[in-house]
Amino acid sequence: MFTVEERRKYIGGSDIAVVMGMSRWKTPLKLWLEKTGQAEPDDLSQVEAVQLGSELEEFVAQKFAKESGKQVRKQSKMYVHKDYPFMVAHIDRLITGTDEILECKTCGSHKREEWEGDGIPREYILQVIWYLGITGKKKAYIAVLIGGQSFKYKTIEFDKELFDVMVDMAKDFWHAVETKTPPAVSASDNPVIVQMFPEPDAEIIENQDIEENIAKLQKVKDDISVLNDEKEMLEAEIKSAIGEHLGVSTENFKVTWPKYQQTKVNTERLKADGLYEKYADKSSYRRLNISEKKKVA
């Protein structure tokens, strides 16, 4: 295992999809904060699924060997790109007597569809192409244990054109790391930005460059408000039509309006009993507020 400090010094296989803006789990800005030492990576060491994935890696490798008839051996060596020392690969297994590698994965049964047919999650495709490009090998196998009940393995051929794009994007990203230049924000970066700037000072800055964005945001909020009103009206009309019945059926739709039960904590009763403050956890947050300035006549 490599430490957080060691991982800050390079772009590895688990980073490359993030660098390319193609990860579902992390944004380039979040990764940039980690690589520049301004944020700690999420601690996954205590996540049971991650622990089991690590422990089952050897099982997946041996299952692949049995199913494919190929011999595999563990490889602890760190491969480094011949021209760029910040581009590295840690592969799971070498396939003995070949110019091939093996990547081992596990996932829950709820992700079964991602592996149907020829399907492979895009993050893993990019990870394996990265490994092939850095090791100089031309073919890889990726083996997966799904929900502890289904085993599959598939091949991934090296794609030089894609790898060249990866290298160019990795170079740009690493330049941003070295120069402390943050990458462009994405729609998923709101929580990341809060981490970057948790406490405001008392100054309101002048910045005419974002006037257009502010106007667009205000319009979007107004449009959402109108759509929410329309949604509420349509729901009321449909509920009125259903009335005392369970639902309604049309040519193209089936709508049900069942009754559910839920449990809520009665905060007023807790306050009356003097228990609310004892169990209430307070937190702070920043909220974006927009107001139009009054025009001076």
181 Cβ contact partners less than 8 Å away, ≥ 6 residues apart:
175
- Domains for the chain: give ranges and CATH numbers: 4-195 (3.90.320.10), 210-252 (no CATH)
User: What was the pLDDT predicted at 45?
Assistant: 67
User: What was the pLDDT predicted at 75?
Assistant: 81
> Minimal CA–CA distance to 40: which of 198, 195, 193?
195
238 Cβ contact partners less than 8 Å away, ≥ 6 residues apart:
248, 255, 257
pLDDT along the chain (297 residues), means of 10: 74 96 95 92 73 86 94 90 95 93 93 93 97 96 93 96 97 96 92 88 90 94 96 96 95 93 89 88 81 76
Q: Give the count of alpha carbons within 13 A of 155, CB side only.
A: 7
C-beta of residue 140 within 8 angstroms of C-beta of residue 100: yes
User: What was the pLDDT predicted at 29?
Assistant: 96
Q: Which two tokens stand for residue 297?
A: 């006549």
> Minimal CA–CA distance to 59: which of 93, 99, 100?
93
> In this structure, is the dihedral angle defined by the CA atoms of residues 176, 177, 180 and 184, taken in order, positive or negative?
positive
User: What was the pLDDT predicted at 2?
Assistant: 60
Q: Give the count of alpha carbons within 13 A of 57, CB side only.
A: 15
User: What was the pLDDT predicted at 1?
Assistant: 53
pTM of the predicted model, to two decimals?
Answer: 0.79
pLDDT digits (tens, 9 = 90+) for 71-114: 999 988 899 999 999 999 999 999 999 999 999 999 999 999 99
What single-letter amino acid sits at 156? Answer: I
